Every structure is written in C-alpha cells, then in structure tokens.
Amino acid sequence: MKKLKQINKKSQSREDHLKELKRSKPFILWFDQLGIEDVPAVGGKNASLGEMYRNLTPRGVRIPNGFAVTAYAYFYLIEKAGIKEQIKQILHDLDTGNMKNLSERGHKVRKLIRETQIPPELRNQIITQYNNLCNAYNAENVDVAVRSSATAEDLPDASFAGQQETYLNIRGHEQLIDACKKCFASLFTNRAISYREDKGFDHFSIGLSIGVQKMVRSDKGSSGVMFSIDTESGFRNAAFITAAYGLGENVVQGAVNPDEYYVFKPTLKQGYSPILSKKLGSKEKKMIYCSEGNKVTKNVPVEITHRKQFALNDDEILELASWASIIEDHYSSKAGHYKPMDMEWAKDGITGDLFIVQARPETVHSQDDKTVLKKYHMKEKGEVLISGNSVGEKIGQGKAHIIKDVHQIDQFKKGEVLITEMTDPDWEPIMKIASAIVTNRGGRTCHAAIISRELGIPCIVGTIKGTEEIPNKEDITVDCSQGSKGYIYNGKLDYEVEKHDLKNLKKPKTKIMMNLGNPDQAFELSFLPVEGVGLAREEFIINSYIKIHPLALLKFDNVKDKKARKKINELTYAYDNKADYYIDKLAQGVATIAAAFYPKDVIVRLSDFKSNEYANLIGGKSFEPDEDNPMIGWRGASRYYSEKYREAFSLECRALKKVRDEMGLTNVILMVPFCRTIKEGENVLRIMGENGLKRGVNGLKVYAMCEIPSNVILAEEFLDIFDGFSIGTNDLTQLTLGLDRDSELVASVYDERNDAVKNLVKKVIDVANSKGKYIGICGQAPSDYPEFATFLVECGIHSMSLNPDTVIKTIVLVNEKEKEIGK
C-alpha cells in the first residue's frame, strides 16, 4: 500500500488542502484526502469512509482503500450534457402519492442519465484513478464496489441509506464507467424521489458522489451489519452484529436470516470477553462472484453443515465489537455528543481479515427522548397465526395485504399490514403508509427492519411462512411488545399504551429494584428508573434457552428416549462437548440481564426448579424422582450438594463464574434459594467455592432467600455465613400458614398480609439491620398490595424488587410514605 500512499499524499496542511478543494472543484478525491466535513463534496458515505481511513486505520480499524467521484462531477455531467432542464420537465407534474405517476417519471429520468455520455475529461480521470488503485493492489482490473453517496444522506434525522444503488465485483474500465452512470441515475430511483419529497429536499440541491472501493473477498468469507447500539430498545452499552456468508447485500436486503450477536461494550473496553448472546441464523444462501454473461454476482445455496455453524468465531465477534466502540467514540467525540453508528463489515475469505466497508449515523434511537417512557401492552389473548423476530416494541393492526411482487405495490392501501417475502428500497413508498410490516425473511438489520424503525411502526421479520399462514385481507394484530419474539394474532385485539414522564420522578431512599427472568426484555426494561434487579430467575433461561436437563448433557448415554436424544443432538450441534452448551447458554442469558443494568446490582437466584419441572426438560425424566409434593421436596439448596445432582450444579457455577470473571460483570450477586438449615448453607457455599465461586473473592457476595420460617428463626446464624437476605413472601406465606400455594382448595387462606407472615417479615428485617447486612424482598406481595409496600418502608427494608409493570406506581407510593414518616 506504500505506492498508493505516495500517489495520494500531499505536502500541504489539511486546512490548505480544504481551501484548494473549494477552489479547484475536483472530479476525484481519494479516501485519505477526505473527512466528515466533506459531505457537500462527496456525500455522507464517502466522507465517512475518508474520515475513518485517515483517523481510525492507525488505531487498527481496517478500511479498504479507494476514491470518490465527487458530487461536483455529477453536477458537471448534467450541466455539460444539457440534461438538467429535461429532468425538470419530466418531474414538473410529479405525484408521489400516485405509484404509476412516480414510476413513469423515475424511469424516464434514469433512462435519460444512463444514455447520456460522460464527458471525456471526467471519464479519463475516473479511469486514471482506477488504474492507480489497480497498481496499489498489484492487480490488473482489480475488483471494486461502486457505491452511491448522496450529499444529503446519513443525516441524523433523515437516513438516505439504501436510497441509491451499489454495484459489486466491478472490473475494468467499461464495467466501471457503466456502473458510474447507473449510480448517477440512481439518484432518481422511485424510492429516492419519494423520500426527498417527504423530507422536503429539492431534487437539484442534492448531488451524487460515487465511492470506488476495493472489494473485500467476502464472497469466500462472510459479511453483515453492525450497530453500536441495540436497534430495538436503544440500549447504548451493547454492540449488535449480524452475520451471514458471502457478499453483504443479502443481509442488507433481508434476503437471508443471519446470525445475531450482542457484545457488552463497557467491559469489552476493560479487556474482558463479554459476548452476551449468539443466535444462529438459517443463512440458506450466499452471494458470490460470477462471470456468467453480464452477471457479476449470483446467489448459491449454503451447505447444511455451514448453516448450522456460526459465521464468525468469538475472536472475530469481539474484534468487530471493539471497532464499533472505536468508531462510535470517534464520531461522538467529533460531534461533541453521543453518536451511535450503523456499520457494514466484511470478512475476506482468502486472508481471514475483517474490514469495515461503511459507517453512518444511526437515525432512530439517537433521536429518542428517553425521559418519556411509552409501553405497549396486550389486554387480551388471541389465536397466534405465526411468530418471528420483533422489531421495535409497538403493537399495530389492520387488514393483512399479501404482496409478493414489487410491481403490485400500487394496490396497497393506507393502514393495511404489509405481508411479503422481504422488502428493498423500492417498497418504501407503501411502507410509510403501512400500519405494520411482516416479512418471511430477514434479520433485525435488514431493510424492512431499518425502515420500520425509522417510520416508527411495528415489524416482524423472519417468519419463514408469513405469506402462507396469514390470511389475506383479514384483520390481524402485530405484537412486538413482548421482547425479541413477535406475534401475529388473528383479528384486531385490544391493547393499551402507557406513558410515563420520568423527568420529575424522585428517587426514594428505599431502593426500588425489579424482578426479571427473560433476557429478551432486559435492554428494554433497563430504562425503568430502578436500582438494579432484585431477582433474576435462572428458570426462564433454562426452560426457554437451554431446554435440556443438565444431567442429560453430562450423561447423554443414559438418555434412552430416542426423541429426546435426537432433539439434544440438534440443539447441541455446534458443540463438541454437550455440557459446554449448557454453560454458554446460561452464561449468556444471565450476562444479558447483568449487562442491561450494569453497574447496578443484579441478584441472580440459583436454579429453583422442582423435580417435576426438571423432569419436563428434554431428557429430564431419566434423572428425576417422582415426588408426591415437589413444592417442599428436592429443590433449591438440597440439590446443589447432593451426589445425585452435584455434577449438574457445577455447570451452573461454571456459567456464573464465566459471567463474572470472563465477561467482567461483577455486579452479579448470587442467591441461594430454599436453604433449610445452616448446614445446608455451609455445604452449598463449599461446593460453590470448589467451582470457582468463593464468597468474597473478586467481590462476590452471596445472599440467601428468606422463605422458610427456619430462615427467620435462625436469622442471626444464617446471616453469619451469607451476605444478606431477600425475602420470598410466596414460599414464606405457604410454609407459615401450612398450605400448598398451588392448591385451589385452600387458595382463599393464602394471603401474604396475614399477621403471622408480617411478623416474620418485620423480625428478619430487624435482625438484618442490627447486623448491618443487606435485606430486601423479591416476593410478589409489594407488587400486588400497595399497603404491603408501605409496611415494608415502615419496617426499614433496604430494597423492594417488583414486577416491571408496578415499578412506577410503587415509586410514587414509597415516596409518599417516606415523606410521611420523615425518612
């Protein structure tokens, strides 16, 4: 690359260079001559590439080199060729609300530009600089990507991403010139014309620059999209990466369902390896180079073995996430405020190197007002037609309109739900009038997902068979309010929207925390004004993410059920050691919750399934006893040190050690459930220590659930070996009143507000306070009964952990009570 640098290097200062640019109006500028301030000359895409090439290449971020054909060159072309007035005449009666009118006028303008000869002086400069690029890479007719870069694109409140065209694997002078003409013409694609009209941009105030950039051989590797922010919730501390095999257009367009990865940026910067989640995509096809006739690329099927593998290894995921942080920090520093970024990356399958090939500002969550909390809730249940990956957190409804071909979009009516295979920018004129969007294919960074976020409408992607399972012209409800999984229901179902203004909400002295079990909801719920998570349940992660009994993984040969064996093999396909599957999935689930609230405390309760619940896991029946009353049987602490389960508990410990030691999430506090005796507590702490979770080491705190009368009676002794207590009123009520809380026959007796229960609660709070130990509550009572919450404040409890939907009203209530008692 030294030769290229010699070609491009200038002796003058940056300031002198900029002055010269204004005077000379060049046709060509190389990336190392550009910065983000050059948007008027080369558009947002090329300016950003130059900014990164100059400033971030020295920091290890790889950017393929290239040059920009300037917007001045575009204006020069339409003026010199005398076609500007012809374009104005074609557009004089434009009506973007009329699909036929828009289509006809767009086609005429594009045809006019494509048939116009590029002036020789411009053509010669493009060819000369392409030859220089070939020389720099020591290749004849080097392969390049030719990308459009409009001068108004990538503004923080108006994303022009995808409005113009990109051409891949372009080689030689004739292909390059042809691609440049097509790029110039793409300034007038139907979607670009419509978008400019909507945003109030004058068609002739916007120029088009072209980026000519060395291709990364991702046709032999992989590629994808990356955000420095969570695209669904706006959570700032996670980098989100998607990946599929082959050239990146399939991911951008939503033609494949890619892998998805989340990485926690704060501890990544501290040197840890915090991969929060890895979700395998189907990746059915890949785009590769092609030399058949006039085709330069084509799609081919991906082998089934590769589909079942992740497209990136852990080191590559972490390297990309590190680059996302570097790029975000650079642009934020330059802008003087937080600036999340949307990037495209590619892996060269020949060299194995990763590259960033595009970066632009994220245009949705960067504009959000996080002081106003808006929550959507379904008020009734209905028939689920199909599900997929949810985009956003809203609910929408209307008549389903299945459209399988872009040429049918003129039939679409405002307020309908668009159901289709996938979208690309040609669909945007109707996307903006849809009440919701559902696609068969695509991941959370595909075109449909990006545009629906910008438009603020719910979208579900990757349903696989949405166009087959959803009845056309029938009313449906599209629900994205329940985490990462979205549901399409039959009919228009009732829902509500809650709004909370958090600006003036005072924080009470009593810590308000939250109960949470579903990692998919963690980022979204992190915006609630809580002091962390008082109860993170492992059961949801084990049941929904892992699905397999831990002993069935450790002792697979003992599983005799053929269906169970087949399912276990399918789920653990990517693992040589089946036990590692359990460790990874549990660690990722817990880490996602811990990361969402970092550095606030997240109290993780160790697994508390009963034997009948463990038996329902895949392979579980081979390892679980039949108990007459599992509720008070082999559960909690008694399992962890038992010879029959101890080996399985070690997997749990290894997962939690990974969260704290390898991912750096030391805000995780562990909690032992259903610990009946002091001896049990000592046994459990010993086993935990043998598995790398020694209380006090690396700041590890271990609490116990206070849910058995013996915990209260011997509170002094329990708090000598544990760092604190969290009261579980559900079991404490059950065992104090001597009833089965699952039995409807005695349900009328079950009440946490019973004086016997309240006396025990008050007593254990007093003991904990006298010993200077943590005392909180994570049971249902304060969520269900406001008077119980005020009782706890009077008793001097340190924290209350509540269900998410009761957080705001309980904060208001606790503030009032604290004011009343002068706390």
Question: In 208-313, which ranges are continuous DSSP H helix?
Answer: 249-253, 265-268, 304-307
Q: Which one-letter amino acid corresponds to residue 382?
A: G
Q: What are the Cα distances from residue 158, in Å, to 35, 201, 414, 434, 455?
A: 20, 10, 22, 19, 11
Give yes or no: 778 in active site. yes
Helices (H) and strands (E) in the chain, counts: 32, 30
Number of neighbours of residue 709 by Cβ within 10 angstroms: 14
For 538, the token pair is 């492992």
For 283, the token pair is 């990746």
The residue among 248, 250, 204 whose CA lies nearest residue 79 is: 204
CB 154 within 8 Å of CB 211: no
Count Cα neighbours of 371 within 13 Å in the Cβ-side half-sphere.
4
d(CA 242, CA 223): 8
d(CA 184, CA 208): 6
| Cis peptide bond N-terminal to 782, omega within 30 | no
Number of neighbours of residue 88 by Cβ within 10 angstroms: 12
The residue among 67, 77, 22, 26 whose CA lies nearest residue 45 is: 67
Which residue among 480, 549, 778, 798 is the active-site one?
Answer: 778
d(CA 39, CA 46): 8
d(CA 449, CA 453): 6
Give yes or no: 290 in active site. no
Q: Which one-letter amino acid corresponds to residue 388?
A: G
d(CA 808, CA 527): 12
d(CA 507, CA 504): 9
Sorted by sequence, the CB contacts under 8 Å of residue 650 that are 6+ apart come out as 687, 691
According to DSSP, residue 355 is labeled E
Look at strands 208-214 and 774-777 and give their pairing: unpaired
The residue among 739, 750, 811, 745 whose CA lies nearest residue 781 is: 750
The residue among 534, 571, 525, 574 whose CA lies nearest residue 552 is: 571
Helix (H, G, I), strand (E, B) or coil at 185: helix
Which residue among 365, 401, 447, 798 is the active-site one?
Answer: 447
Q: What are the Cα distances from residue 63, in Å, to 66, 319, 345?
A: 9, 14, 9
According to DSSP, residue 158 is labeled B
Place of tokens 């852990």: 314
Would you please indicate which residues are annotated as catalytic (active-site) residues? 447, 778
